Chains A and B, each alone.
Chain A
Amino acid sequence: MDALLKVEDLHVNFKTPFGMAKVLNGVSLYIKPQEIVSLVGETGCGKSITAKSILDVLPETSIISGKISLKDKDFLSIGKKERRTLIRSRIGYIPQNPMTSLNPVFTIGEVFFDLIKWHGKEIVPWRAYRKWKRHIKEERDIAIELLKKVHLPQPEDVLSKYPTQLSGGMRQRVLIAMSMIGNREFLIADEPTTALDVTIQKGIVELIKEKVEEERLSVLYITHNLGVAKYLSNRIYVMYAGDIVEFGPSESLLRNPLHPYTQGLLNSIPKLVKTGFSGIPGRLPSYITPPEGCRFSPRCPKSMEICNNIKPPLKEVEEGHFVRCHLYGKDN
């Protein structure tokens, strides 16, 4: 198996006035070429930190260790400048909130042309920039081409508009178009539909799926919506408090959730049939003093003695379906 992106044993700690916050606790994941992988979890579980680690945009208070590699090239061992150039030219990013992700004082076109011309560059030479800015032709054609790809009507008009003149769904389409600049092969989408209505969400999710198939992209899709994850992805990773607790093919993971956290999460979702729902007691542990052993153990209804002391290893229960839980030990 050749993984396009591979994250191995990623630890991210943050320096805080109260001590070291140990957020990511050995995250490992891989994404094969042309695969959509969802990373699912609740607020504060470390989903976005994982994405930010891959994109190298963590704040300076962070301490990162582990291995992140794109096509066998290890990001963390190369120099900062080379790393950033590599990341910016190869990885596309769709942000969470389309309302705040576009600068309101520039038109869509101004931002778009800059991105097309200078994408992947660490530093933009000022003089060359001013000279170029006076006659933009090529970039306009590329931008219109990309906006057509995301099914925006009248792309020429959109380019001359300011972000506030567009609706949320249209802005998210513009951002998806921007993420596809420069033949990227890998996309990170960080909850791109959370801020949108369900009817709009459906259109955006379908668009992402269509583009991924057309352009042969691979995607790491971060979401808290298991329904969206099921619709989009081949495989799902479930994250809790900085740990990957379970992962596997979407079908098998949702049909047969193994980890008590995944089960709790699935039971919490109000469904379209009257099945009722139960929440998960307690709340996320503090990252400064996380529980020893399994981080879910204080909230787990099936917690055992061993869970409080030893972090469970990953165990393959079905084909490709792994779980990190002591319930699935060697004997049973």
Chain B
Amino acid sequence: MEKIIEVKALSKHFKTKKGLTVKAVDEVDFFLEKGKTLAIVGESGSGKTTLGKTLLKIYEPTGGRIYFEGKDITNYSKDKMKELRANLQMVFQDPTSSLNPRKSIGNIISLPLKIHTRMTKKEIKEKVIWLLEQVDLSPAFYSRYPNALSGGQKQRVGIARALALNPKLIVLDEPTASLDVSVQAKILTLLEELKNRFGLSYIYITHDLGVVRNMADFTLVMYLGRVMEYASTEELFRNPLHPYTVALLSSIPTIMDEEKSTIPYEITLSGDIPSLTEIPDYCRFYSRCYKKEKECMEKEPELREMLSGHWVRCIRV
């Protein structure tokens, strides 16, 4: 088993103007095997995107270690990161705002090639057209501009751009959140194909548990910057242990009767996700938990391995 990426106690804390500390990502541990997909799930504000960006060192981590293919890249300088950048790419959430409206599609996809390689203009153009083919877009898109494209097509361009430098790991930040389901299904199928064709590994950030079930090998459930549960997707859906995971599953409006079997019991969470500046020093889920007891307020629970490979942060399990 080869680990493509591993993080140990990774943290990203922001300071606000008022001097408060926002612990967006707080001591997260996980690793990902080569060629697999890890899903990071949670509500908005749970630190999913920050984790994704910190992993790629788009944000500088404030604590912990990041290992890429066994090498510690935590303290890599900008120049050193640039060499590595080709291996680590990201596809962003909103395809409309992540493409420059004043640049043609050809221009957008060729930019990473211009920065990182010494290919000639002709070679670059050939490569871009090849990349367009890989994401099922015709070469005619080369000279078009983003505003002429539909949401699904824009996201294909985003994927082509991420593929340009033959990466090993791609962080997909809710790539289908703004798309219709019929388009989403096509993008997800494309992502699966590309993964097999190029031997990629994915970190898939999403809040859609249906997508997780069908795409991911491993799942990490986050709440307020912390890992609440971590297991293989099979195991997590067969046997969700953390109350928060169950609440997330239970909040999905299901269509098929078979889907109901994955939800142990019906629960509706009251209240919203608390502010990241007001995190208690005991269990973070306490304010919304429906299984809370007095002992939950004593200290923050540890992430414990309850079953082989199934980690949970809850003392009530």
A residues contacting B by CB (< 8 A) are: 42-43, 167-170, 197-203, 205-206, 224-228, 230-231, 254, 264-281, 283
On whether the beta carbons of A273 and B256 are closer than 8 Å, the reply is yes
On whether the beta carbons of A268 and B253 are closer than 8 Å, the reply is no
On whether the beta carbons of B189 and A279 are closer than 8 Å, the reply is yes
Identify which of A43, A168, A228 contacts B253 (C-beta below 8 A).
Answer: A228
Complex contacts, B215 vs chain A, CB 8 Å: 270
* Distance in Å: Cβ of B125 to nearest Cβ of chain A: 27
Identify which of A167, A197, A271 contacts B255 (C-beta below 8 A).
Answer: A271
Given known pairs A230-B253, A271-B256, the reply for A206 and B180 (CB within 8 Å) is: no
Given known pairs A270-B211, A275-B214, the reply for A197 and B43 (CB within 8 Å) is: yes
Interface residues on B, range: 35 or more
Q: How far is the CA of A167 from the CA of B237 in the complex (A)?
A: 30
On whether the beta carbons of B210 and A265 are closer than 8 Å, the reply is no
Which residues 222-269 of B have a CB within 8 angstroms of A? Answer: 237, 247-256, 258-259, 261-263, 268-269
On whether the beta carbons of B181 and A274 are closer than 8 Å, the reply is no
On whether the beta carbons of B181 and A199 are closer than 8 Å, the reply is no
Q: How far is the CA of A168 from the CA of B183 in the complex (A)?
A: 27
**Nearest A residue (CB) for B180:** A42
User: What 8 pairs across the A-B complex have the smallest Cβ distances?
Assistant: A227-B253, A270-B210, A279-B185, A279-B186, A268-B185, A202-B251, A280-B182, A42-B180
On whether the beta carbons of B43 and A199 are closer than 8 Å, the reply is yes
Render B183-202 as a binary contact track against A, CB cut-off 8 A, 1 for contact.
Answer: 11110110000000000000
Complex contacts, A201 vs chain B, CB 8 Å: 251, 253
Q: How far is the CA of A88 from the CA of B256 in the complex (A)?
A: 38
B308 within 8 A of A: no
B150 within 8 A of A: yes
B270 within 8 A of A: yes
* Distance in Å: Cβ of A68 to nearest Cβ of chain B: 27
* Distance in Å: Cβ of A102 to nearest Cβ of chain B: 17
Given known pairs A43-B180, A199-B269, A272-B262, the reply for A277 and B249 (CB within 8 Å) is: no
